[in-house]
Structure 1
Amino acid sequence: MLKVNNRKVIHTLSKRLLKENKSRNKVALLAIILTSFMLSALILFGMNAYRFNEVNWIQSAGTAADAYLTNPTELQLSTLDKSSSVERIGQITQVASSEMDDDRIELSYLSKEAFQMKQDALYPIKGEYPKKQNEIMLSVEAVNHLTGSTPKKGLKIELPISDEHGNQVMQEFILTGWFTDPLASNNPLTSIGFVSKAYLESTNHTIENNGYADVQFKRGITGVDEVERLEQQIKTLDSQAFATYFNLSGSSDQMLMLVGVGVVVLLIMFSGYLLIYNIFYLSISHDIRSYGLLKTIGTTAKQLQQIIRGQALSLSVIGIPIGSAIAIALAFGFALYGGLPNFFRYWQVQLVLIILSSFFAFMTVLISVWKPARKVGKISPVEATRYTDIKIQSKKTKLTTHGGKIGKMAWRNIFRHGKRTTVVFMSLFFGLTTFLSVFTVVESLDIENYVSRTMVSDIEMRNSYMIGDDGEFEPVYNLSSKLINEVKAVPGVTAVMPQYESKYKAEFSDEFSSYYNWAKDSISKADLAKRFEGEMISLESEDFECLFSIQTSEINSNIDLPKSNTVYLSQSLEGTYELPSHFDITHPISGKEYKVNFGGYLPISLRSSGINHWAPTLIVPEKFMNTFNGKVQPVIGSVYVSVEKGKDKEVHQQIQQISEKYGDFQIETKEALRDNLQLSKIAISLIGGGFSVLLALIGIVNFINIMFTGIINRKQELSVLESIGMTRKQVNKMVAIEGAYYAMISLGLVWTLGNGIAYGLFTLFNSVSKYAVYQFPVTPMVLVSLVVVIICVTVPLLTYKKMTKQSITERLQENMY
């Protein structure tokens, strides 16, 4: 048997059939564009959200490295470099410091690998790394503060540098590059700068005496466990620290985010599948006689399937790029809108993400047309000529003398085609439930609740930070009683509450297992035992009482704050970890030991100034703070300022003016936090709401398509009903009731089962956020329900009206020959 190459003929047939089905093509193209758009947008937003989270971690550590080793020897570096678990090692050597009053810039030399690992933390970086001895790279904030101008290549900057004798010597540098230092946003000169290798060689500084190595492990390796293993190999000294920054590769939040994106991708693919499948299924049902005739002249089942897939492929080539392009345009639109400026700061439209989303969209189309194409291939020419797409039910017909009731007829019509009905209900249910779930979460984002849990007062003042001799950030305690008295005198200020802080030491033991389980992703048990130091914080007794009076409903009746030797944790940590019922703490200066009891959690958000402590921050009564410190005066770490309603801006401006006389501070306000959160909520509402509306739209479009095609396919049946005496008014009533039933059943499922799913998702979300307050989205749900009812009722009526432009005779004769 000779093989005949009919590819060209099949391709021509596919194109001709595609041109004939213009109305089908429009709906199918819309479905493919919607599916492609949602998949592209979700993958772009999801993967960039993953990157945003990753960059936040990197910024908190200042590098993409997983661990650091202080003062490494050449042998230790060589051993680490040969380890199969190590991806790369960066060397950082501190070569000089520039001090001006209480401000400080730490100058370091970075190896190529170290600089690469810092790039995300200092994004965006402009210019190039210094090469000559007199070249320097500084933060934008430092350049602005030092010169009063914007950074530019070749700008000359003078800095006082401490020589080997401790004397300040002015040195002139030429700026070759600049970066954004996130840690310098509130204190411009608490910053870092980079110099060349030539500058390092002009000093007597070495990495073994004045530096550290950043170590990045290969993907999938747990940093804490690997540090413990390598520590034995490189034989660290007691004076060295080998510890992790964080364990990003094993972060449960990161994995949860990827799983979430994957689940939503599958949901979108399923919704798109339901729509595209239905479109092609109904189109094939309508054109089945044409395919039957093709089979009679010798077209094989495989060739018929190729014709169907060819049409889907042609529509995909047009629809998928359009959907991806709209998603990219929308993303950049949000970036310009600025609702989430920090998020879009690191936005990347990577080609691999577009290819990935296009692949998922293409697979959705192929899977959707597989079953309809298979159906065409299996049907015989004889079956095709008398195909009606309606299964004859074996149920016994009930005879009556008063005719059939229109409502019952409509009800039977809905469930006559089980598969089609199931697809409609599933499509509407999934789309509307997603809409309900997203708006439930968005409506439940209680900004005031978050602000009140995050900030104690209207304005909060905190000490700024500087880089110490060991390269670590340390608080600069500029807050003083004199400053507090000036703030109290500002018109509009109703209360000023200083927060006192003191360091403590504790003996780490297995009793702290709850705390270790929380911290183990960031530090090994051995390192935690070595560095188990923390801070205790306290307010004056009347200030505690003032805060408790605001939170009376949340106060645990067992809490007895004046009780001596009792320590507490902030309520935000409840469920995260707990402390032993009894343990010992030691004063770091006097060495005196105290036995304390754990009293539970206080419903106030107090934070310490310390950022390099590994023991928990303890909240203690004023009396115990004084007893613990004895003659040593505790420092003021924060000041909480309450303001008269409506005077926040005026008071904030005056406090800023006063604070300039005392040094640099971090000043936060509830108003600024509230405004930022409101912008973010709007952006989240637009993004999440947009996705949910589109998913709901897929369900609605699916319904429109099925109802439109269903009534067209029932043209003869409805014409017969008219010919035996059923009026057009009665037919209109019947198809309208059919649509109403679809709406009632779908909305009934959404308002009951869907609402249960939405509440479950809210509970899951709130277990992470802990500040959301459940709020049912009444207005959005009522509006979308009205839209669904209107569409479900009007679409059948409009379709029937269009069909009845022909006479009954013409409709009855249409498919007789």
Structure 2
Amino acid sequence: MNDILFGNNNGPILKKLTKRSLKANKRRNFFLVMAIMLTTLLIGSVFSVGMSLVESVKMEQIRFAGTMAHAAVGHPTTEQIKRLHTLDYVKEVGTGNSVGVVQNTADMGNISLTLHYFDKTEWEELRAPAYVDIVGNYPEKENEIMVSRGVLERMGIDTPSIGMEIPLNYYTDSENRDSIIQETFTLSGWFTSYAFVQSTETADVIFVSHALSQRYGKTVEKDGSASILFADESRVSEYCNALVADLGLAENQPVAMVQLYEADAGQGTATLLSLCAIVVFLIFTGYLLIYNILYISISHDVQFYGLLKTIGTTPKQIKRIVIRQVIRLCLIGIPVGIILSLLLSLGVVPFLISELGAISTEEAVVSFSPIIYVGAVFFPLLTAILAASKPARKAASISPIEAQKYTGVIGTVKHIRTLAHGKPYRMAWRNIFRDKKRAGVVLFSLFLGVTTFLSVTTLVFSTDVSKYIDSAFESDLVLDNETWPAQTLDDSLVEQLMLIPGVENIHATTWEEMRLDYSDAFRGYIANHPMQEQISALSEQDIEDNFNGFLIGVDGETLTKYRDRLGNPIDIEAFDRGEIALIATDNPELFSNVQELNITPSYREENSVSNQQEYKFVLGGFVPFSYKGIGSSLAPTVIVSNTIMQEWFGEPAVKQLDMNVASGYEKNAFIALKQIIGNNSGISLTSRIESMEELDRAKMAVLVLGGSISFVIALIGILNFVNVMSVSVVARKRELATLESIGMSRKQVRKMLISEGLYYAIITLVLVLSAGNLIAYGIFKLFQQQVSFAVFTYPLIPAVSIILVIMIICFITPERMYRSLSRETITERLRETE
């Protein structure tokens, strides 16, 4: 407004000056565009990889849980369901109830199936999004069912079709479990359920219609629950507590939080904070480069800005010229950075996520959240404007008279004639710190980039894959029986395996079913059962009548690694003698009141010896819940010795064979084993050496991702040095010519400039090898607290490589710049700077 009042409205001229200034500073523009592009790429990549990884893992967990819901309320009344719809923190409410329990056939094996009805909201909003490959529709007619692919395969149906008939035997109430209903249903659709396919649980649900539920008088209040999706998933625990008061829930109306949100409470916030910390770090590194480039550029163009002031340009207008130049360069650098980030998301992110072991490439969720691209535009633009503000104020504050006297060289060179005959390396040391601020920015950005690179590579190199494999694998090779209870891993196969060169021993894991006496001592376990949703509708009598589970037989030798884990030490000798039994759990405190286990083996008809004999065991300890990949049924999984299993069952079904081979024979034994198995789909093979190779690939993926990002950060520091050094040589053109004119040889000048570059490198490396290594080690110690198999390993080869790169660049840059100047004669250089 003031410009207009005083006749100084020269906006169009400012635009022309901005354009011409951009054209006159092509080298500076290149560095600025590169800085803006790299900052955008880094921020976009971090957001993209981070958010995609989080969403992929979360989606896998949701699919594993089988529902989008956050919690469920057992046996809600009609009034309570109406009340749920009015609560402001509740987003969706779906209901469902149990209709019956399927009686397994021999082909279906160890699977517990229930018939369940879900209302429209429950299916469309909470269940369907957690499934994949949905074909057909939810059942509408009384005789229609919808089944998961995994269950269909258990039924022997590999190629389902809409309308095909599926006979089922089921009962509707536990007290009438002997009144079996035989009915033929029509298949209305199917889907892939991760909760069944990928979990170790052996329970699933067959969906039925509302009409069938009504036929047997089933209701949500008596036989079901209400699933709830909250408005804010970060407050699930808080909302679950609020429901008790808001709904006036009774003791028999439990609020069950979906395990995903119970386990991951606060994880989303921690991830967001981590991403923000990384983004702030990247903004800072980008700021350093952009600020330094503009600071040097404006110092070089001070006379130009001084001339603008003499013709009436105001300080505000000069600031506007500088800021406009940066914004125009952002219009080039930011789109290029976003495009590169987008290509990275599409091509590299799924690969990285799968290699990191989060989820398969096909199932990876690539996040295209607007937050990514808004952040990738906003933060680099903010960085550029902030970095340009201070240099712009400098350009605006200098007076025309000061501008005319400005030479672009900070500090003065006293006794120049004496210096001309001095030592070049001493002159170089003094020259570096003539502009302490500029030297500090360059050294700090180089230190920051190299330290980041070393920290990332230290973490990757310190990830000891072999140590992790030793902790995760009990043997070198594992054969799994996928057709249990069929005896696929029989004695004839074991004899073949023992003939493979290098095989030292083979341990069998047998698997049968059993019934466990239920008592009050198991109440804590039932209250925290992993299949809470499936059992929430069961009464205390139902649980007592159906307290069945799995019985695992192993050799005591295989329990050595668990001897002192999870509570009291395990007496291996007593275990082998059959005096004690173990429970598979990650929460031993749930069984603190359990002293002994009363087990009744469940015999298959062909092996039936006695159907009612009960055996007593002292509870002798615990193994992890994931032990042998069995999982659990309603009762906890119990582990006894193979001697006991053979005594009870004669020839118990072998679920797993663990093979150990002599050192050096692993690869050959793996190849021989694959040849013996051939195309037998009933046997799966897991190899320690193959798993190690997969983890090595994941480790390489982390190295590529983290190393690339940290290398780009190091590159920002290197670009800072190149820019500073090249501008410094050009700005000191007259000074260098004067030194040559009074007796300093070109060789000495060249040596002085190269020494300056090498001093930058040496100072940076001293800082990195001292403070930088301490920072890297400190980050490793924090990492080690989360990853127990991490062993500190210094990344010697990457460290030497980055040191060589910096030394070479710091040597070549000043030498090349001086070579370009020395093509002119001393007289020409002296005249040009007058």
TM-score by length of 1: 0.81
Greater alpha carbon shift after TM alignment, 280-289 vs 633-642: 633-642
The count of residues paired between Structure 1 and Structure 2 equals 772
Aligned to 1:102: 108
Over residues 382-422 of structure 1, what are the superposed CA-to-partner deviations in whole Å (9 max), with x where a residue is unaligned?
Answer: 1111223444379x989979942222111111111111111
Aligned to 2:219: 206
Cα–Cα, structure 1 residues 121 and 603, in superposed 2: closer, same or farther, change >3 Å? closer
Over residues 621-663 of structure 1, what are the superposed CA-to-partner deviations in whole Å (9 max), with x where a residue is unaligned?
Answer: 959x979x99999998963411542222543575697884xxx
Greater alpha carbon shift after TM alignment, 288-297 vs 396-405: 396-405
Aligned to 1:392: 411
C-alpha separation in 1, matches of 2:641 and 2:581: 11
Aligned to 1:739: 757
Counterpart AA for 2:659:
S
C-alpha separation in 1, matches of 2:245 and 2:616: 33
C-alpha separation in 1, matches of 2:135 and 2:118: 16
Aligned: 1:298 with 2:312: yes
Aligned: 1:315 with 2:334: no
C-alpha separation in 2, matches of 1:710 and 1:426: 18
Aligned: 1:242 with 2:255: yes
Correspondent of 2:43 among 23, 35, 39: 39
SS of structure 2 residue aligned to 1:216: strand
Correspondent of 1:267 among 281, 288, 297: 281
Aligned to 2:555: 540
SS of structure 2 residue aligned to 1:342: coil
Counterpart AA for 2:595:
I
C-alpha separation in 1, matches of 2:405 and 2:713: 36
Aligned to 1:495: 506
Contact 1:125 1:180 in 2 (8 A): no
C-alpha separation in 2, matches of 1:569 and 1:193: 30
SS of structure 2 residue aligned to 1:214: strand
Give, in angstroms, the shift of residue 113 of structure 1.
3.2
Correspondent of 1:74 among 78, 82, 86: 78
C-alpha separation in 2, matches of 1:354 and 1:401: 54
Structure 1: gaps spanning 5 or more residues: 465-475
Cα–Cα, structure 1 residues 671 and 102, in superposed 2: closer, same or farther, change >3 Å? farther
Task: Kindly report which structure 2 residues correspond to 1:755-766, keeping only aligned pairs within 5 A, or say none.
Answer: 755-766=773-784
Give, in angstroms, the shift of residue 669 of structure 1.
4.0
Contact 2:145 2:208 in 1 (8 A): yes
Aligned to 2:69: 65
Task: Kindly report which structure 2 residues correspond to 1:552-591, keeping only aligned pairs within 5 A, or say none.
Answer: 561-562=572-573, 585-587=595-597
Cα–Cα, structure 1 residues 248 and 363, in superposed 2: closer, same or farther, change >3 Å? farther
Aligned to 1:282: 296
Aligned to 2:673: 651
Cα–Cα, structure 1 residues 555 and 810, in superposed 2: closer, same or farther, change >3 Å? farther
Give, in angstroms, the shift of residue 796 of structure 1.
0.5
Contact 1:583 1:597 in 2 (8 A): no
C-alpha separation in 2, matches of 1:70 and 1:462: 38
Correspondent of 2:11 among 7, 22, 32: 7
Give, in angstroms, the shift of residue 439 of structure 1.
1.2
Over residues 21-54 of structure 1, what are the superposed CA-to-partner deviations in whole Å (9 max), with x where a residue is unaligned?
Answer: 1111111111111111111111111112221232
Contact 1:500 1:635 in 2 (8 A): yes
Counterpart AA for 2:796:
V
Greater alpha carbon shift after TM alignment, 399-408 vs 204-213: 399-408
Aligned to 2:485: 478
Give, in angstroms, the shift of residue 94 of structure 1.
4.3
Contact 2:201 2:633 in 1 (8 A): no
Aligned: 1:22 with 2:26: yes
Contact 1:274 1:423 in 2 (8 A): yes
Contact 2:200 2:630 in 1 (8 A): no
Cα–Cα, structure 1 residues 505 and 747, in superposed 2: closer, same or farther, change >3 Å? farther
C-alpha separation in 2, matches of 1:397 and 1:507: 96
Contact 1:141 1:189 in 2 (8 A): no
Aligned: 1:641 with 2:658: yes
C-alpha separation in 2, matches of 1:592 and 1:145: 32
Counterpart AA for 1:383:
E
SS of structure 1 residue aligned to 2:168: strand
SS of structure 2 residue aligned to 1:12: helix
Contact 2:80 2:247 in 1 (8 A): yes
Contact 1:29 1:315 in 2 (8 A): yes
SS of structure 1 residue aligned to 2:164: strand
Give, in angstroms, the shift of residue 595 of structure 1.
8.3
Greater alpha carbon shift after TM alignment, 434-443 vs 531-540: 531-540
Cα–Cα, structure 1 residues 634 and 114, in superposed 2: closer, same or farther, change >3 Å? farther
C-alpha separation in 2, matches of 1:373 and 1:79: 61
Correspondent of 2:630 among 609, 616, 622: 609
SS of structure 2 residue aligned to 1:587: strand
Aligned to 1:729: 747
Aligned to 2:127: 118
Give, in angstroms, the shift of residue 210 of structure 1.
4.2
Aligned to 2:369: 350
C-alpha separation in 1, matches of 2:692 and 2:184: 44
Correspondent of 1:441 among 459, 479, 493: 459
SS of structure 2 residue aligned to 1:770: coil
Counterpart AA for 1:292:
G
Give, in angstroms, the shift of residue 497 of structure 1.
3.6
Aligned to 1:470: none
Correspondent of 2:769 among 727, 745, 751: 751
C-alpha separation in 2, matches of 1:84 and 1:780: 55
Contact 1:145 1:189 in 2 (8 A): no
Task: Kindly report which structure 2 residues correspond to 1:396-545, keeping only aligned pairs within 5 A, or say none.
Answer: 403-460=421-478, 478=485, 483=489, 485-491=491-497, 492=500, 494-498=505-509, 539-544=554-559
Aligned: 1:779 with 2:797: yes
SS of structure 2 residue aligned to 1:489: helix
Aligned to 2:52: 48
Aligned to 2:604: none
Aligned to 1:360: 379
Counterpart AA for 1:610:
G
C-alpha separation in 1, matches of 2:370 and 2:314: 40
SS of structure 2 residue aligned to 1:248: helix
CA RMSD of aligned residues (A): 4.8
C-alpha separation in 2, matches of 1:137 and 1:581: 37
Over residues 480-530 of structure 1, what are the superposed CA-to-partner deviations in whole Å (9 max), with x where a residue is unaligned?
Answer: 7x9464553332363124278987989889xx9xx9xx999x99xxx9xx9
Correspondent of 1:171 among 172, 180, 185: 185
SS of structure 2 residue aligned to 1:289: helix
Give, in angstroms, the shift of residue 666 of structure 1.
7.4
Contact 1:122 1:179 in 2 (8 A): yes
C-alpha separation in 1, matches of 2:419 and 2:716: 43
C-alpha separation in 2, matches of 1:131 and 1:611: 33
SS of structure 1 residue aligned to 2:187: strand
Counterpart AA for 1:211:
G
C-alpha separation in 2, matches of 1:191 and 1:597: 32
C-alpha separation in 2, matches of 1:556 and 1:74: 45
Over residues 339-390 of structure 1, what are the superposed CA-to-partner deviations in whole Å (9 max), with x where a residue is unaligned?
Answer: 4663662112223321122111111111111111111111111111122344
Contact 1:140 1:150 in 2 (8 A): no
Give, in angstroms, the shift of residue 170 of structure 1.
3.2
Aligned to 1:376: 395
How many percent identity over aligned positions? 31
Aligned to 1:687: 705
Counterpart AA for 1:349:
F
Counterpart AA for 2:670:
D
Contact 2:510 2:554 in 1 (8 A): yes
Aligned to 1:720: 738
Give, in angstroms, the shift of residue 428 of structure 1.
0.7
Correspondent of 1:788 among 806, 809, 819: 806
Counterpart AA for 2:224:
G
Cα–Cα, structure 1 residues 603 and 801, in superposed 2: closer, same or farther, change >3 Å? farther
Aligned to 2:605: none
SS of structure 2 residue aligned to 1:183: helix
Cα–Cα, structure 1 residues 224 and 556, in superposed 2: closer, same or farther, change >3 Å? closer
Greater alpha carbon shift after TM alignment, 402-411 vs 536-545: 536-545
Contact 1:505 1:587 in 2 (8 A): no
Cα–Cα, structure 1 residues 802 and 380, in superposed 2: closer, same or farther, change >3 Å? same
Over residues 530-586 of structure 1, what are the superposed CA-to-partner deviations in whole Å (9 max), with x where a residue is unaligned?
Answer: 9999999774334446x69xx99x99999865479999999x98xxx9969997534
